[in-house]
Amino acid sequence: MIGGDKMETILNQIMYSDLFLMNPATLTIATLTTMMTLYLYFIQPSKLIQAYFRVAVRWSGMRMKCTKPLKEGFIFSYGEKGSKVKGQMSILLLHGFSADHFMWASIVQNVPSSIHVVAVDLPGHGFTSDPEEGDDIGFEGQVHRVRQFLDLVELASEPLHVVGVSMGGTVAGLFAAEYPHLVGALTLTCPSMKTPVESRTIQDNKIQVLQNGGLLTLDNCPMLPQTAQKLQAMLDISHYYRVKYPQQILKGAVELRKKKNDIYLHLVNYLISEESSVLLENNLHRIQCPTQVIWGKEDWIVDISGVDVLREKLADCRQILILEECGHAINLDQPVLFAKAMLQFWFLHNSQENLAKSVS
């Protein structure tokens, strides 16, 4: 018959067998890691979010890199998966307003490593340098910076498949218009533009904006939330699938974004100006490469009626894809479908590009 003390020892060994197998050093590391995670979560959640971003980017297969500085010291940060293959189009990814290359992680993880992908952080975003005073932070200035970036990473010798979302979609379109020899295929995804029907977000905030002389402020801009509650509201209008995030995580994300408040506010007021909002539409006739248009059916930020403008005015619109159960944040709502559509377009026009070269 087993005594009480011995029985308790046996039960402890069964229930906590993993701990018995750990040596003291491993147990100490595990304990410290847990304590550090809890500390970051409750005291510095922004640090925990930054760590998560880095892990997600690495998990997608991208390596985080920075370019050599330009003469004025400007540096680009970017994520890269695979390597440049001569005669094969690389894919250049351009993110949306207040995002960075991390937004592409869920999509890039679905791209084979045999295909070269580069996701650059636009000026003032991610770890790319902030614009200097007097720099053109608008679409044309960003197009110029993208061209500089391609020179620095030696991707300006062959056509690319350029893919842009929201603000990045407009930059992609204008880049294709300005540098047609560098774009073999183009994917425009809910680009920032004036649409025939105003989006729900514009309608809901129009009165507040007009009361401030037509300008957005940190108090009335839905895309620059200053509290955890407002960030949750922004995520709700961006996504089709609504997820309630823990308050600590939301607080950490808000703190991270606040560091860029001045840049983002200046930029967003440029984006909503009349001149800026029609810039892509006024240049659509200059885009000569095969173009694919992708839009979320439930986009509340840039209304889906913009599809009609692109269909009518693009010179070579090959495909229009409306994604069901998808809002503006396509990378979060439908990353697999988006990656599949992007890759199919790449395969089609990469082979055509190679065929054209062989014939010539």
Q: Residue 13 domain-assigned?
A: no
Q: Residue 104 domain-assigned?
A: yes
Rounded mean pLDDT of the chain?
87
pLDDT at 329: 94
Domain count for the chain: 1
Q: Residue 39 domain-assigned?
A: no
Q: Residue 36 domain-assigned?
A: no
Window from 165-179, 228-242, 315-329 with minimum mean pLDDT: 228-242
Is residue 10's pLDDT more than 80?
no
Question: Mean pLDDT, to the nearest integer, of 213-239?
Answer: 90
pLDDT > 70 in the chain, percent: 85
Window from 41-45, 174-178, 350-354 with minimum mean pLDDT: 41-45
Query: What is the band of 206 on the pLDDT scale with cuts at 50, 70, 90?
Result: confident
Range of the domain at 340: 46-359
Ordered alpha helix ranges (H), the chain: 4-15, 17-21, 24-42, 45-59, 105-108, 139-152, 167-178, 200-211, 228-238, 247-258, 261-271, 274-277, 279-283, 306-313, 330-333, 335-359
Is residue 284's pLDDT more than 70?
yes
Query: What is the band of 150 on the pLDDT scale with cuts at 50, 70, 90?
Result: very high
Window from 38-47, 130-139, 226-235, 245-254 with minimum mean pLDDT: 38-47
Query: What is the pTM (predicted TM-score) of this model?
Result: 0.86
Q: Residue 70 domain-assigned?
A: yes
Q: Residue 3 domain-assigned?
A: no
Q: Residue 52 domain-assigned?
A: yes
Catalytic-role residue among 299, 303, 333, 349: 299
Is residue 354's pLDDT more than 60?
no
Question: Mean pLDDT, to the nearest integer, of 232-256?
Answer: 90
Residue 129: DSSP 8-state:
P
Catalytic-role residue among 166, 192, 199, 238: 166
Q: Give helix 228-238 / helix 247-258 axis angle, nearest 10°.
A: 90
Q: Residue 32 domain-assigned?
A: no
CATH assignment at residue 86 = 3.40.50.1820
pLDDT in tens, 169-196: 999 999 999 999 999 999 999 999 999 9
- Concerning whether 299 is annotated as a catalytic residue, the answer is yes
Query: What is the band of 125 on the pLDDT scale with cuts at 50, 70, 90?
Result: very high
pLDDT > 90 in the chain, percent: 66
- Concerning whether 328 is annotated as a catalytic residue, the answer is yes
pLDDT at 76: 98
Q: Give helix 45-59 / helix 247-258 axis angle, nearest 10°.
A: 90
Catalytic-role residue among 238, 328, 333, 349: 328
By CB neighbour count within 10 A (0-12 exposed, 13-18 middle, 19+ buried), where does 275 fall? Answer: exposed
